[in-house]
């Protein structure tokens, strides 16, 4: 195999796969895609041409998440320094369990954790990179459980009190998953009501805790959210901290989506009270535009992660020497762990604090622009006041057309045609199109294009729906007349 030739061709494909004017996705149904790619046929051996063809097909049929019309998820865009870091991490192919096999990677991760803890207000804090926000949230709940029940590491939960946790009804589903995995039970995760802007109601939190205590349960954990999935809302951290302190609960802040907003001096007020929390999830793979996965759990107590685990009697990995404090595997539930810190470090070194602040501020400006576009349109309707970077809206349907059905059809058609990609959720039981601004490389013209696409598709589909409805009404009349 001619490695240089192959790599040059591969990078040429990668460089050109998202050219201006290209489709967001060349959508095919699962059955059609299987037919085209013959994924089940694994030859005994291949060559350079077959490898290049496989790469080309993968790029051809993948969603281009750095496309200017990809507005579907809580992440998007591209970040060249971080992309380079991703390549170097794969090239060096090491694991983060010991300093011996990952010397500079260990120092980089410790430096990043210290910097992020300082920004969060966790003086002398600690943390670890995790496999995603859901995993980081689980580690936070595990830390809270093991703090209140230190014996659980050896004895389990058989004789333990019934624990209860509290999250907003706008929180991420990962807390239910965490409670399931940790043996607490998803039924013991109480969902606290939120106000019309999506923020947790602190009065309802206190009532729920009191009711749990009356039932003989042991409240131990409360999670606030900084950047909810649908509305992009920020819970009142200061007020929640007071309740957590009053009832001696571990307070976690899930900043999986909005955590990086703390880098902006202009919007850091949204995190008022964060320094009073016990832990904080922060995903650079969201608003810092670092390739997946780059997720961090920060803790106020730098030794807590070590206390979570039983003594690791593994002298085949961890040796008793002067490198002990740099063996990061002893505070992680993972053994093999990829070097995710490198791409974050390279990106942060390149953009700097000021560069990231400007990127965050620009996304807020773009979100305000998108919100005003909806407000000024007589064909669109804003469903909720913007809280941060999420805009919830719908195309206004005419009386005889079902709004939910029409808006889902618009979204689906735009996606399948590779034109634009946007997601949706439900507000008060009705479909809400959720536009997320998470790519600082967008310009106002990209948003103009999106709304033009959305409205044009709405006009076409609404017209067809009305025509079909009228045709069906005529056919029904004919059936009745013939019957009579």
What value, to the nearest 5°, has the Cα angle with vertex 281 and ends 279 and 282?
135
Q: CA dihedral in degrees (263, 265, 269, 270; nearest 10)?
A: -30
The pLDDT value given to residue 317: 63
The pLDDT value given to residue 479: 42
In a domain, 72, yes or no: no
**330 to each of 17, 28, 334, 335, how far by Cα in Å?**
41, 45, 9, 8
pTM of the model: 0.93
Q: How many domains does the chain have?
A: 3
CA–centroid distance for 400 within its chain: 37
The DSSP 8-state label assigned to residue 100 in this structure reads T
The predicted-structure confidence for 29-57, as pLDDT tens digits, reads as follows 999 999 888 887 776 677 788 888 888 89
* 328 and 357 inside one domain: no
Banded pLDDT at 315 (limits 50, 70, 90): low
Report the C-alpha gap between 117 and 300 in whole angstroms: 8
Q: What are phi and psi of 367, to 5 degrees?
A: -65, -40
In a domain, 404, yes or no: yes
The predicted-structure confidence for 348-390, as pLDDT tens digits, reads as follows 999 999 999 999 999 999 999 999 999 999 999 999 999 999 9
User: Average pLDDT over the chain, rounded to whole?
Assistant: 92
The parent domain of residue 60 ranges over 3-64
The predicted-structure confidence for 264-275, as pLDDT tens digits, reads as follows 999 999 999 999
The pLDDT value given to residue 166: 98
* 279 and 407 inside one domain: no
The predicted-structure confidence for 125-175, as pLDDT tens digits, reads as follows 999 999 999 999 999 999 999 999 999 988 999 889 999 999 999 999 999
Instruction: Specify the CATH number for the domain of residue 475.
Output: 3.90.1150.170
* 468 and 409 inside one domain: yes
The predicted-structure confidence for 321-351, as pLDDT tens digits, reads as follows 656 778 888 888 888 999 999 999 999 999 9
Is the pLDDT reported for residue 19 higher than 80?
no
In a domain, 413, yes or no: yes
* 148 and 189 inside one domain: yes
The pLDDT value given to residue 311: 60
Is the pLDDT reported for residue 219 higher than 90?
yes
């Amino acid at each position: 195999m001619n490695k240089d030739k192959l790599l040059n061709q591969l990078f040429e494909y990668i460089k050109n796969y998202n050219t201006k004017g290209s489709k967001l996705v060349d959508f095919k149904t699962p059955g059609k895609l299987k037919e085209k790619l013959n994924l089940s046929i694994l030859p005994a051996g291949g060559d350079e041409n077959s490898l290049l063809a496989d790469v080309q097909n993968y790029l051809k049929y993948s969603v281009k998440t750095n496309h200017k019309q990809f507005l579907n998820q809580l992440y998007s865009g591209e970040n060249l320094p971080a992309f380079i870091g991703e390549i170097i991490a794969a090239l060096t192919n090491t694991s983060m369990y010991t300093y011996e096999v990952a010397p500079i990677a260990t120092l980089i991760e410790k430096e990043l954790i210290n910097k992020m803890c300082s920004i969060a207000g966790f003086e002398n804090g600690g943390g670890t990179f995790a496999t995603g926000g859901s995993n980081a949230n689980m580690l936070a709940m595990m830390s809270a459980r093991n703090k209140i029940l230190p014996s659980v590491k050896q004895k389990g939960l058989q004789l333990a009190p019934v624990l209860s946790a509290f999250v907003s009804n706008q929180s991420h589903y990962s807390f239910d998953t965490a409670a399931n995995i940790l043996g607490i039970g998803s039924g013991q995760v109480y969902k606290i009501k939120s106000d019309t802007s999506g923020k947790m109601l602190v009065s309802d939190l206190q009532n729920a805790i009191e009711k749990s205590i009356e039932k003989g349960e042991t409240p131990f954990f409360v999670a606030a959210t900084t950047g909810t999935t649908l509305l992009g809302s920020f819970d009142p951290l200061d007020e929640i901290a007071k309740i957590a302190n009053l009832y001696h609960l571990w307070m976690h802040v899930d900043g999986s989506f909005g955590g990086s907003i703390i880098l902006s001096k202009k919007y850091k007020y949204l995190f008022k009270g964060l320094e009073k929390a016990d832990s904080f999830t922060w995903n650079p793979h969201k608003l810092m535009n670092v390739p997946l996965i780059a997720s961090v759990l920060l803790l106020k107590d730098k030794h807590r992660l070590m206390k979570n685990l039983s003594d690791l009697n593994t002298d085949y990995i961890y040796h008793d020497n002067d490198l002990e404090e740099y063996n990061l595997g002893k505070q992680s539930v993972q053994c093999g762990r990829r070097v995710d810190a490198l791409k974050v470090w390279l990106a942060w070194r390149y953009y700097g604090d000021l560069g990231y602040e400007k990127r965050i501020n620009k996304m807020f400006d773009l979100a305000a622009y998108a919100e005003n576009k909806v407000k000024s349109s007589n064909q669109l309707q804003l469903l909720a006041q913007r809280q941060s970077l999420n805009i919830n809206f719908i195309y206004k349907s005419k009386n005889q057309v079902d709004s939910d059905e029409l808006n889902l059809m618009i979204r689906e058609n735009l996606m399948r045609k590779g034109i634009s990609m946007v997601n949706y959720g439900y507000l008060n039981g009705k479909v809400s199109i959720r536009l997320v601004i998470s790519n600082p490389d967008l310009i106002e013209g990209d948003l103009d294009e999106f709304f033009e696409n959305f409205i044009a598709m709405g006009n076409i589909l609404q017209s067809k729906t009305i025509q079909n409805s009228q045709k069906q009404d005529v056919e029904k009349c004919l059936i009745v007349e013939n019957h009579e």
